[in-house]
Chains A and B, each alone.
Chain A
Amino acid sequence: MAHRCSVNCIIPPHILLKLLESKDRKLREIALNTLLASTQFRAKRDLLSLLPNPMGVGEKRRTIFDAKNVESDLPQGVRVRGEDDPPVGDTTVNEAFDGLGATYDFYKQLFSRNSIDGNGMRLDAIVHYGDAFNNAFWNGQVMVFGDGDQDLFTSFTKSLDVIAHELTHGVTENTAALDYHKQPGALNESMSDVFGSLVKQWSLKQDAESADWLIGPEVFTPGLEGDALRSMKAPGTAYDNEMIGKDPQPAHMENYQNLPDNRFGDNGGVHINSGIPNHAFYVAAMAMGGHAWDVPGHIWYETLTKNTGPTAQFQEFADATVGVAGRLYGPSSDEQVAVREAWREVGIQVRGVGSIRPERIRTTIAKEIKRAEAESLSDLRARIDSLAKTVEQLARKVA
């Protein structure tokens, strides 16, 4: 068939760009892949920004690149699996592909969100990045996963919650755009942990009670003592050993860590103080029971995407979740009370509408009506008295 050429076939770029408009999906894909393969990576970034969704809206578009353990400017690597490709022989590639798929499906099915930007953004991931690279990160366009040094860490693609964590950074960037410093930064990290964990729970069909609430339990090597990178259930207890020290995450505002707002202070402890909002979500989910992605997940998603902004502090975010819970499930509903109590348990008091129960509202209204009635009667008597005096004066004049 005419369009079955490899990515190496020589087609002028203007024709390839024209082919991107073709109705034939396969042809569009080949044209795009050829363009990408023949373009330097910096140029690729520019191209993708010009064509934010060349493959069409509403489609899951995953592409995995293999950096082959080289570290260089991003994006990079050899394309090893695309959306329509079958599994490959490399487990890491398949883990990344499946993890992106599960995360995409989670956002699409539960929140009708079409990918990271809500508009079908391509999901690109680079695996086997760097040499013994102990990290996974999001660079604003792609997710990058290292293989770990095999001393402390194994491949970061082994944890679905880590993959979903990185992808959620993209969702946050496209919604609340929480600053990556201090409390907004810790909230940014917490959003990635919350939805990272929810993707895993949803994938395993676990309820709040049976979930492990751990972030990255699979990335530690078998020889490394510890449960995971973080624990939402019990922040500060994920690991404690001589090799890597003790988990420093606080679970309560009393233990909030004021760290320098620079690289060496983890931008004010964004990966540390996230333990506080993480735990609030856990407490709320446990109080409500059932599947955490249902009610608590929806409250947090609604807050993240529509009810908070770049500079939000813990208090503002907590207030917003209680407000959202009230709007979605009713003032003083069990759901709203559970959210408010969850924040209280981590040391954040939410006041206002969330703390007023209907009985109190009814009593207050009744008092107000009585007061108004009393005031009206009193006014009326005064006006009648005044009128009577005026009539009396007029009568005297006539007489």
Chain B
Amino acid sequence: MKLELEISGGLAAPITSSRYTMDVSTLPQDVQKQVEELVKKILAAPRPTPSPKLRDAMSYQLTVTSNTQQESVTADDGALSQPMRELIKLIKTSGTRTRQGM
């Protein structure tokens, strides 16, 4: 399973926009399990509804690619589910940043 996290928007959008990738198979067993469980929860939950009133909020698009399918979930600042927050943190610390800025 491969994960891609695309961060966009924000007060400093041109600076903070970024992309991270993570190959789950390369992670230690316990982290792999943790990531898989988080992904399962995120994909099973209803998709977040964007708020039209948000200004300067950052958006987080998670794309999960497995052998059989590809799914994406997008959520904004102030409306991230707990599993999404945990996974974003994990990807930022254990994944690879492939782009910084727009």
Q: Residues of A with Cβ closer than 8 Å to B?
A: 71-74, 131, 134-141, 144, 152-153, 156, 162, 165-166, 169, 173, 180, 188, 192, 216, 219, 229, 239, 243-245, 247-249, 259, 263-264, 266-267, 270-272
Contact = CB atoms under 8 A, between A and B. Distances in A.
Contacts, number: 110
B88 to A, nearest CB: 9
A266 B9 contact: yes
8 contacts: A136-B56, A137-B56, A152-B15, A166-B56, A248-B14, A248-B102, A264-B17, A271-B11
Interface stretch (B20-28, B34-42, B62-70, B71-79): B71-79
Interface in B48-102: 51-59, 61, 74, 77-80, 82, 85, 89, 100-102
A131 B82 CA distance: 13
B56 A138 contact: yes
Contacts of B11: 135-137, 156, 162, 165-166, 216, 229, 271
A116 B15 CA distance: 28
A160 B11 CA distance: 14
A258 to B, nearest CB: 13
Contacts of B8: 263-264, 266
B14 A272 contact: yes
Q: Which are the 9 A-B pairs with shortest beta-carbon distances?
A: A140-B53, A169-B55, A137-B56, A263-B59, A74-B78, A245-B101, A271-B13, A138-B55, A137-B57
A229 B80 contact: no
Q: Give the dominant DSSP class at A's interface.
A: loop
A227 to B, nearest CB: 13
**Among B53, B55, B77: residue with most chain A CB under 10 A:** B55
Interface size grouping (class) on chain B? 20 to 34
Contacts of A166: 11, 55-56
B15 to A, nearest CB: 5
A135 B56 contact: yes
B12 interface: yes
Given A156-B11, A263-B59, A140 B54 contact: yes
Contacts of A131: 89
A271 B14 contact: yes
Given A137-B54, A137-B77, A263-B59, A153 B9 contact: no
A239 B74 CA distance: 30
B16 interface: yes
A259 B9 CA distance: 13
A169 B56 CA distance: 9
A72 B82 contact: yes
- The listed residue with most A CB atoms (<10 A of its CB), out of B51, B57, B59, is B57
B55 A244 contact: no
